[in-house]
A and B are shown apart, each in its own frame.
Chain A
Amino acid sequence: MEQSDNQPIDTAQRHLLWRLFTVFVKIGAFTFGGGWAMISIIQREVVDNQKWIAKDEFLDLLALAQSLPGILAVNISVAVGDRLRGRVGSVVAACGTILPCFFIILAIAVFLTPETIIQNPTLNAIFKGIRPAVVALIITPVITSARAAHIGWRTAWIPVVVAALIWSKWPVVSNPIIFIVLGGLVGWLQLRHVRRKLAAQEGGDQ
């Protein structure tokens, strides 16, 4: 949209799309751990190296990407691509992000099937050691985000009940989607209630 008039539009736009693709392929191929690790690298490429977007605007896009469901790295890729080149740009950027890991995981899925692991005594032993470690890696964010979200004794029952019900595998109440919908709804109604009460108090004081 902000293509300047004196540029040969076709080649310039094609060039930008190609740059967009290669930059996001690089991001997809070299960031381990996904999510936040990826965000800082995307920011460095898009804001500092390529100077496609100003930092403020990037942070706005990031805030948006975070508030939507879905894979954070894909959300921010789509948002950046969309901002630069509309629909085509968003597809190009998202494809760049997912292609490297798609091919790597596909190769692993083909050669490292569940049967291969079970039948090979060495692999079997290695994965027996790795699986309990994975559980620890999942417990870590429970502890760190509980701290970050200031979960105190008054709110701790929520994650406990949610986790226990999902773990129970009982029909209906073990579906995580129910808790996501319920949590959002209750959070909204509660905050609205609090704000209205505050507004009413202020009104009464005057």
Chain B
Amino acid sequence: MIYLRLIWSYLKIGFFGFGGGYAMLSLVQNEIVGPGWITDKTFTDIVAISQMTPGPIGINSATYIGYTAPMQAFGPDASPLWGLLGSIICTLVVIIPSFLLVRYAGRFVSRHRQSVAIEGIFRGLRPVVIGLIASAALILMNSENYGSIPSEIIPSALITLGVLLLNLFTRIHPILLICAAGLAGYLIF
């Protein structure tokens, strides 16, 4: 049953989603893209769409994947209501941990914020979170996103390099960078 598996996956994503949206991406990759519910390509597109629409990436990806995964699994003739159901389920499930943890673990964590346990856990998590984000980027550097012939790989790699430098060293908004990359894609490919 695809919905039960989506619920289980998004519970894990919600409960272990430390380190913000980008770190969460590696969990989504492992839980959703790994089993083949959506392709790497579609996953990359979701991240792009999330960047260009309001709202947190965690919610955006849950809604999109919740709609798309059942639709892909049930085939082209499936009713869009199955997708709607999936998107509602995934969006709700990914925020359930927030309610439980803020309400029930909140007081405990606030009181022990200075404790060795909490401080140590966060020190330990910091380098791990960087590794998680890096893995998300590494996994997306594949032939689905960069093509398999030099005439595709080279311009794609140049786009990555250009956007990376502009994003690191200028204050150009990421949405503009995505639009510029889309324009470049339209002109090149």
Contact = CB atoms under 8 A, between A and B. Distances in A.
Interface of A: 28-35, 38, 60, 63-65, 67-75, 78-79, 82, 87, 90-91, 94, 97-98, 100-102, 104-106, 108-110, 112-115, 117, 122, 124-146, 149, 151, 155, 158-164, 166-167, 169, 174-177, 179-192, 195
A132 to B, nearest CB: 4
Interface string B8-39: 00001011111011101111001000100011
B110 A60 contact: yes
A188 B98 contact: no
7 contacts: A67-B122, A79-B102, A131-B45, A145-B133, A159-B130, A167-B135, A176-B132
A111 B121 CA distance: 43
Given A82-B106, A128-B185, A130-B185, 5 more contacts: A74-B59, A94-B95, A137-B47, A158-B130, A184-B124
Contact of B167 (A100, A104, A137): A137
Tell me what chain A mostly uses at the interface: helix, strand, loop, or mixed. helix
B164 interface: yes
B5 interface: no
A156 to B, nearest CB: 8
Contact of B181 (A35, A64, A133, A181): A133
B171 to A, nearest CB: 13
B175 interface: yes
Given A102-B91, A109-B87, A176-B135, A35 B56 contact: yes
A126 B185 contact: yes
Nearest to A161: B131
Contacts of A162: 127-128, 130-132, 134-135
A78 B98 CA distance: 7
A190 B123 CA distance: 10
Interface range, B side: 35 or more
Contacts of A125: 185-186, 188-189
Contacts of B73: none
A33 B174 contact: yes
Nearest to A34: B56
A105 B64 contact: yes
B95 A71 contact: yes
A185 B121 CA distance: 6
